[in-house]
């Protein structure tokens, strides 16, 4: 089984148990580089998948909270080589699957084939590149597939249905459903996205995970059953920035992921 298949299976297993998967988002090296490996291990005890954001100087999809965290991590010297080494060091103790979120430039500077090989070796299952359109990603897709990695596609509220279907077919691991137009952080309104998520789960041949603007257990509880997983980033980064233990928040979020009806009654 490839890493991409393992990622998909992890999400399907959560659904089969009657809940949506929990995918916390961490900024690599934040809140401090020295303790990040141990933080990764602790968050992994509560997560199905952890999305690790590589800090970047021009994060076009990130809201102010995550952008500020990325700047702090960059100031501490966090970069892809460091992250790969740190993940490889603690990977045997991290219970969750790992996905990298990186803008394209750091991957190009590292080398696309070299990056995919190194990610697979370190123990990642997939990657998300929010500024790389599907039509321009043939090289990355080829290298990701050759190393067993999932290149995860994003669908936004502005994506036309025909293109959403194409992205769903091209994605591996899961399809990332952006719940609101714009950057991360601002709260999404569950009533406005439930129908769109259910439509995506009907057309996608793989799990659908929602992110951007999901901050509270109440939001997740209202959306539970409309998709296969939830990515929560800004609320977690805020807790870490304030010096709070992230596990109580993750426990509350996890409790909210239980489906309100049996999985057999949910669209798929």
Q: What is the Cα–Cα distance from 210 to 239, expressed in whole angstroms?
A: 21
Is 228 tagged catalytic? Answer: no
Instruction: Give the number of other Cβ atoms within 10 Å of residue 124's Cβ.
Output: 27
Q: What is the DSSP string of 19-73?
A: B-EEEEEEETT-S-STTHHHHHHHHHTT-SEEEEEPP-SS-TT--HHHHHHHHHH
Q: Which of 8, 48, 62, 228 does the annotation list as catalytic?
A: 62
CA 252 to chain CA mean position, Å: 19
Q: Are 224 and 210 in contact (CB under 8 A)?
A: no
243 secondary structure, DSSP code: T
Comparing C-alpha atoms, which of 235, 227, 166, 189 is closest to residue 15? 227
Is 38 tagged catalytic? Answer: no
Q: What separation in angstroms does the CA of 195 have from each of 191, 200, 202, 260?
A: 8, 9, 11, 16
Phi, psi angle pair for 231, to nearest 5°:
-100, 125
Q: Are 104 and 132 in contact (CB under 8 A)?
A: yes
Comparing C-alpha atoms, which of 70, 33, 32, 45 is closest to residue 233? 70
Q: Which helix (H) or strand (E) holds 178?
A: strand 175-178
Q: Which of 8, 48, 51, 97 does the annotation list as catalytic?
A: 51
Q: Which residues are catalytic?
A: 51, 62
């Amino acid at each position: 089984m490839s890493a991409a298949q393992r990622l998909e299976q992890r999400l399907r297993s959560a659904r089969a148990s009657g809940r949506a998967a929990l995918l916390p988002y961490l900024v690599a090296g934040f809140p401090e580089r020295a303790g990040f490996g141990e933080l990764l291990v602790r968050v992994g005890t509560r997560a199905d998948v952890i999305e690790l954001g590589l800090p970047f100087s021009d994060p076009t999809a990130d809201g102010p909270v995550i952008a500020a965290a990325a700047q702090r991590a960059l100031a501490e010297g966090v970069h892809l080589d460091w992250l790969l080494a740190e993940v490889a060091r603690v990977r045997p103790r991290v219970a969750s699957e790992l996905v990298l979120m990186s803008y394209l430039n750091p991957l190009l500077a590292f080398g696309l084939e070299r990056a995919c090989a190194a990610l697979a070796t370190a123990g990642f299952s997939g990657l998300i590149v929010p500024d790389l359109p599907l039509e321009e990603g043939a090289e990355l897709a080829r290298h990701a597939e050759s190393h067993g990695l999932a290149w995860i596609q994003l669908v936004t509220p502005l994506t036309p249905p025909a293109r959403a279907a194409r992205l769903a077919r091209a994605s591996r691991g899961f399809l990332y459903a952006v719940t609101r137009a714009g950057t991360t952080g601002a709260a999404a309104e569950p009533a406005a996205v439930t129908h769109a998520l259910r439509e995506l789960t009907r057309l996608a041949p793989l799990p659908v995970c929602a992110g951007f603007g999901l901050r509270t257990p109440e939001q997740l509880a209202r959306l539970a059953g409309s998709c296969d997983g939830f990515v929560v980033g800004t609320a977690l980064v805020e807790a870490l920035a304030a010096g709070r233990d992230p596990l109580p928040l993750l426990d509350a979020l996890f409790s909210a992921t239980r489906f309100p009806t049996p999985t057999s009654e949910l669209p798929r």
